[in-house]
Structure formats: C-alpha cells, structure tokens
Amino acid sequence: MARDLKTPDDVTEVANVHENVDTGPVRLPGASSIDTDELQSALLGTWADIRKKSRQLAARPEMQRIEGQPMDEHRARVLEQLHLLVEDGQVLRAFPKRLGGDEDAGGNIAGFEELVLADPSLQIKSGVQWGLFGAAVLHLGTEKHHDKFLPGIMSLDVPGAFAMTEIGHGSDVASLGTTATYDEATQEFVINTPFKGAWKEFLGNAARDGVAATVFAQLITKGVNHGVHCFYVPIRDENGEFLPGIGGEDDGLKGGLNGIDNGRLHFTDVRIPRDNLLNRYGDVAEDGTYSSSIASPGRRFFTMLGTLVQGRVSLDGAATTASALGLTIAIRYGDQRRQFNAASETDEEVLLDYQKHQRRLLPRLAQTYAQMFAHDTLLTTFDKVFSGRADSDDDRQDLETLAAALKPLSTWHALDTLQECREACGGAGFMNANRFTSLHADLDVYVTFEGDNNVLLQLVAKRLLTDFSSKFRKADAGALARYVVTQAADRAYHGSGLRTLGQTLGDFGSTARSVGQLRETAVQRELLTDRVETMIEKIGGELRASSKMSKADAAELFNSQQAELIEAARAHGELLQWEAFTAGVEKIRDASTRKVLTWLRDLFGLSLIEKHLAWYLINGRLSSQRAEAVSAYINRLVARLRPYAVQLVDAFGFDEEHLRAPIATDGERQRQDEARAYFAAQRESGTAPVDEKVLRAREKAAAKRQAR
C-alpha cells in the first residue's frame, strides 16, 4: 500500500532540491537546447542502426503510399513494394542462417515497425507474409517444413495467408470450427469448414495474391479432438484460380489499409499430405496415433499461440511510431501557425503558446515517449525468448503478458493522438495531404488486430490474479490471518477519513509543497503501483468464493468483475510504461536533456494520476487539496516544456521524406512572416486603413473634448 505522503516539515526538504514551483516556467541556466542526438539514440533503442536503415528504405518514393490511390492500384503497388523488400534483404533477418537469414528476432521486428512511415498497408502486408504466414512455418514447423516451404516464402515466390481468424470466433481461437480430420487409409488430413461461422475471415493475401495458407483447425484423429493445430495448405494454382474444394470472397473496400487484399476462405473436403501438419508441438503417425511433447492440451495450445506473439509486439511499436509521426506534424505546425491577438495589438499568437494547445499535445507527447521506452523493453524481452537466451515457460508467459499489456495502450493512444492532432491543426489537419485522416483510418483496426484490446487486457488481469493468489497458495493459517488483519486495518484507515484529514492539514500550508511531493519519483511510483495492487487485491477478494461455486455461478461472478479486471490490467500497463520511461531518463548523460526529460516523465506520471483522480480520491490516496495541485502543476509543466516541444519531436528522427505533410514544413512560417511583414510595412508607411473601432473611439474622444 502507498505510505502516507509527507508532512509539511518533510516537504520543505523536497522543495529545496527542486525549482521554485510557484514561479511558472523555468529557464535552464546557460542552456537553450537539449541534446537531440543523445535523445534520438535513446528513443531508437537497442536496434537503432536497423531502424535507421529501415527508415532509409521508407524514405524512398517508390516505397511510399500515394494518397487517394484507388484500391486495386494500391494493392498492386504494395505487392510490388514487397518484392523491393526482398531485393533489399529486409525480410530475411528472422529466418535461419542456413537459409540465408540472420536469426535476429528483435532486429527483424524493429526494422519491420518502421515501414509504417512509408505506408501502413506495406507494413501490415509484409507482416502477413513474413511475420504471420512465414513465422507460422518457422515456429510451428520443424526442419523438414523449413527446407520445403521457407525458401519460397522468403523470396515471395509463394505469397501466403495466415488463416486463423474465423467469422464466428475472433479472439476465441480455441473454439475454432474448422476441422482437420486424419484419414488413415490415405495418410491425409481432410480440411473442412462445416458451417458459415467457420469460414476464415479478414485474411491478408486471401482475396488476390495468396497461393498458400497456414490454416488453424481442430486436429481430429481416431475420433479424438486434440485441439487447434496449424497446417500448410495450398489454395491457388499457377493461374491464380482456387484449387478444388477451396472457395473465397474478397472483403472489398475497408475503412483503411486498402493496399491489402483481405478476404475470406472456406474448405470442403480439401486433402493435404500428413506431413503438411506443422508438427513442432504435436504430431500424427501414419497409423493415426497422436503424440506431443506437451501432455496438457491447454498448455500445448497456449505454447503454440505464444510462438506468434510477435504480431502484438510489432503493433505496439508501429502504433507508437505513428503517434510520434502525427505529433511531429502537429507540433511543428502549432509552432508556426498564428491565430488571434492576445498579447499584442499587431501580432497574432502562435498556437503552441496557448495553454489549451499545450494541454492537447504535450501530455500525448509524454505518453509517446513512455511508449517508446517501454517498447524497447518489450522488444528486448521478445528477442531473448526467441533467440533462446531466456526461453523457459515463465519467460514466455512474461513476454506474452507484457505484449498483451502494452499493445492495447499504444494502439488506443495512436487513434486518440492522431484525432487530437487532426483537430489541433484545424481544417489543414483534415486535408488528406497532411496524413492524419489516412493514418487514423489505417491504424483503426490495430486495436482489434492480433486480439481485441479488451480481451488482451483480460488476459493480463488473469495473470495478475494468478500472481496475487500464488502468494497464499502455500501460506499457513498464521500468514493468512495476518493478511486478513492487514486488509481490515487498511480499509479502516482509508475509509475512515483519517488519512485524508492528515493530508488536508498538511496541504493547507502551500500548493507548492503538495506539488513537491508529487514530483518525486518515489511518490509517483508509489501512487501508480498502489492503484494496481489495490485493484487486484480487491478483485481477488471478490473472486475468492468462486472456487466453491458451480461452473455457471463462478462464471457469473467472474463476469461481474470483468470491467474492474480490465481497468486493473490497464493500470498495470500504465505502470510498466512509467517505469520504462523512468529507467530511460536515468540513462541520459547530458544534464540539460535529462532535466527536460524528467519534466516530460513527470508530465506523463501526473497525467495518469489526473486521469484517475476519482479513484485516488474515493480510495483516500489523495486529498482534494493535493488532487487540485496535480492539475495546477500539469499546467506549469506544459508551459515549462513548451520551449522544447519542437526539439522533443525532432528527436524522433523523422526526415521530411517520412513526414510528407505540407504543414510540417516551414511553409506556414513563411506565410505568417509574409503576412506580418505586409501589415508592418503598411503601418510604417502610413497607408494602413484605420480600423472602424479605432475611428469611432477617436471620434468619441474628440466629441468629449469639444463638449468641455
């Protein structure tokens, strides 16, 4: 639990080691800039060189999206771009060295994510080909499958689809309706989609380009269903026509990502050789006998799906890059565009000088920074697991939980950020040429790609509950009794108002002192951690009785806590991002840069607390006085960060070829300077027309003089 925040005497020491928080924006003594090179290196992370190479590729005109291109032309262009990726060697990093790859799992994902700068359709279609279709063969198949199928996949001679999702079962993969029944007489599997709900749906490469698919189906042999397994299934002939027993439809125009030929597939008595079962985790002998190195069907299923976690990892990184792209465009524009006279009779104000504009964009910039640091942590964890350096069951579960926690937050953030950036740029933001609308449309589906965000967060919450309950699995009666007493005392302490009363008395001294506490790294960590732990403990207590209930009653009880579970998982993801941001700040060597980055980290942490103020107030973690100080200090922070806003987005390292938005260039500044020079020349020459209000004021003053 969070300790009681400091008394006024304790805060005096805190205030002395920080700037005077009552004086408004603070200028760094002797420093007017930050070290963008060091900052860019930190943001690019572990695979900085690979990211830079991928960005060089994304900067080539032939790799970039043509805004407004018709769907069929867009699809053809993206397929051609995939061939250019093959020529460049970008797609080979994850594959075995003996087949010409690099066996660099982390570097492969890092380079792949940056393709979102060229065209999200290119990023996702290449992900379908090599990150899903190819990865299924790589991770679920064995050496014989690698030798037979991977060369064609790597060279793009065999474009393929990843046929997991069904129209009747999206995130519930275990309940798929497609079957693969083994025929001992012919030593073949027979693939069937027995009803419309089992049709494979939303599959990239299915509508036009795919000639094979990795099909997920219930493996049935000797009358026993051994659960979902993956099969390599040819689907088209050399003329592009469906093979016998296979049918499909084109999904047509979508809300975004129209460079990808999404479609649906169905199978009727489609026969494939026994060896087309990708049998790393489960195999069928010639006589139909099933075997697996993993005895538990449930564990086997999650192990197989866990090998494909890279989709969630890459979406987290790509969504964060798209957010950074949008913020770069919007903040550059806001630093140039002028609107309304406020502090001057003649000059209009720059948009980014308005507090509301700062409030709209800078907290989102802070979260994007947090996501970049958190994503590098996720990617290094992924690389350790897939390189084999850390490949235990616990390591894989940790990776899956981390990916499931971060992907929802980053993809939701991308949509929110791109929309806010669009609005912050007014009508210019709505122009397709400035990219917000198309980026938002393309990234919309990221929130349901690779698992619906709410479903993923529920998985995270279940893991948190498991970790919580494990503390008591082997506990004796005395330990349980101490826990119950502690919980009862905690409820009395927080619920009685004693904690709030003590804080209120301390807060009356100075808002600055209240802020001084909240700026402390330890206090932010405590508040964010406490929220996660308290929520999980409460839910765990509510669900404790489920072990003695019927299945139906237990399901009803669990369902009653679903919203709280998802919120707790979200809080856990936010804490992970804050921790990664804090660790990133500590690695910055340049003192001025570290100071500015600390302010940005504080903005992220306090914005999280502000977003959840109701929880902190209801649970007695903050008094109303201190809660008010949170918002007041955020206002100071955004003003303090404003002079560094452009440098902070420049540190993302995007070139003009990546931005490709007219409002992100100096064109707006030139227009504004031209207008100001025009009016200044008029005033200086005396040819400026007199404003009607000024004329009337003069006439009124003259009339008063005559009346005297």
HSE at residue 645, side-chain half, CA atoms within 13 A, is 29
On whether both 533 and 578 belong to a single domain, the answer is: yes
The CATH number of the domain where 204 resides is what? 2.40.110.10
On whether both 248 and 336 belong to a single domain, the answer is: no
Mean pLDDT computed over 45-74: 96
The per-residue pLDDT for range 667-676, each reduced to its tens digit, is: 777 887 777 7
| 623 pLDDT tier (thresholds 50, 70, 90) | confident
| 342 pLDDT tier (thresholds 50, 70, 90) | low
DSSP state string for 559-596: HHTHHHHHHHHHHHHHHHHHHHHHHHHHT--SHHHHHH
Tokens of 31: 């420093």
Among the candidates 275, 306, 337, a domain finishes at 306
- pLDDT of 600 above 50: yes
DSSP state string for 518-552: HTSHHHHHHHHHHHHHHHHHHHHHHHGGGGGS-HH
Instruction: Let me know if residue 189 belongs to a domain.
Output: yes
| Arithmetic mean of pLDDT over the chain | 87
What was the pLDDT predicted at 514?
57
Question: What's the CA gap between 38 and 572, in Å, rounded?
Answer: 29
- Within 8 A by CB and 6+ apart from 242, the residues are 235, 236, 248
Among the candidates 273, 306, 339, a domain finishes at 306
Residues of the chain with pLDDT > 90, as a percent, come to: 68
Q: At what angle do helices 310-334 and 105-113 cross, to 10 degrees?
A: 40
Instruction: Let me know if residue 156 belongs to a domain.
Output: yes
**Residues 677 and 347 sit within 8 Å (Cβ to Cβ):** no
Beta bridge partners of 225: 220
On whether both 524 and 632 belong to a single domain, the answer is: yes
Among the candidates 306, 326, 361, a domain finishes at 306
On whether both 327 and 278 belong to a single domain, the answer is: no
On whether both 220 and 296 belong to a single domain, the answer is: yes
Mean pLDDT computed over 101-119: 96
| 707 pLDDT tier (thresholds 50, 70, 90) | confident
> In what helix (H) or strand (E) does residue 267 lie, and over which residues does it extend?
strand 263-267
Mean pLDDT computed over 678-692: 82
On whether both 37 and 88 belong to a single domain, the answer is: no
Instruction: Let me know if residue 660 belongs to a domain.
Output: no
**Structural domain count of the chain:** 3
More confident residue, 530 or 512: 530
Tokens of 596: 């500015």
What was the pLDDT predicted at 474?
56
Question: Pairing relation of β-strands 283-284 and 290-291?
Answer: antiparallel
- pLDDT of 706 above 90: no
Helix (H, G, I), strand (E, B) or coil at 234: strand
Q: At what angle do helices 297-306 and 393-424 cross, to 10 degrees?
A: 50
What was the pLDDT predicted at 547?
79
Mean pLDDT computed over 545-565: 86
| 155 pLDDT tier (thresholds 50, 70, 90) | very high
| 708 pLDDT tier (thresholds 50, 70, 90) | confident
Mean pLDDT computed over 276-297: 96
What was the pLDDT predicted at 696?
87
Residues of the chain with pLDDT > 70, as a percent, come to: 88
Mean pLDDT computed over 290-299: 94
On whether both 136 and 240 belong to a single domain, the answer is: yes
More confident residue, 704 or 65: 65
Instruction: Let me know if residue 673 belongs to a domain.
Output: yes
On whether both 230 and 349 belong to a single domain, the answer is: no
Instruction: Let me know if residue 290 belongs to a domain.
Output: yes
Beta bridge partners of 283: 291
Instruction: Let me know if residue 57 belongs to a domain.
Output: yes
What was the pLDDT predicted at 29?
42
DSSP state string for 281-296: S-EE-TTS-EE-S---
- pLDDT of 505 above 60: no
Question: What's the CA gap between 262 and 421, in Å, rounded?
Answer: 29
**Residues 397 and 404 sit within 8 Å (Cβ to Cβ):** no
DSSP state string for 674-699: HHHHHHHHHHHHT-SPPPHHHHHHHH
Mean pLDDT computed over 411-431: 96
What was the pLDDT predicted at 5?
35
- pLDDT of 69 above 50: yes
The per-residue pLDDT for range 187-239, each reduced to its tens digit, is: 999 999 999 999 999 999 999 999 999 999 999 999 999 999 999 999 999 99
Domain that holds residue 537: 8-17+30-43+310-650
Instruction: Let me know if residue 2 belongs to a domain.
Output: no
Instruction: Let me know if residue 659 belongs to a domain.
Output: no
Question: Pairing relation of β-strands 212-221 and 179-183?
Answer: parallel
User: 467-473: which pairs have CB atoms within 8 A and are 24 or more residues apart?
Assistant: 468/536, 468/537, 468/540, 469/540
Mean pLDDT computed over 602-620: 95
What was the pLDDT predicted at 674?
77
Question: What's the CA gap between 126 and 105, in Å, rounded?
Answer: 15
**Lowest-confidence region among 33-47, 99-113, 483-497, 505-519:** 483-497
Per-residue b/e over 390-413, b at no fewer than 16 CB within 10 Å? eeeeeebebbbbbbbbbbbbbbeb
On whether both 171 and 246 belong to a single domain, the answer is: yes
Q: At what angle do helices 511-518 and 8-16 cross, to 10 degrees?
A: 70
The per-residue pLDDT for range 310-334, each reduced to its tens digit, is: 999 999 999 999 999 999 999 999 9
> In what helix (H) or strand (E) does residue 168 lie, and over which residues does it extend?
none
On whether both 37 and 52 belong to a single domain, the answer is: no
On whether both 541 and 600 belong to a single domain, the answer is: yes
Tokens of 573: 């993801």
The per-residue pLDDT for range 378-400, each reduced to its tens digit, is: 999 999 999 989 988 889 999 99
On whether both 266 and 324 belong to a single domain, the answer is: no
Amino acid occupying residue 359: R
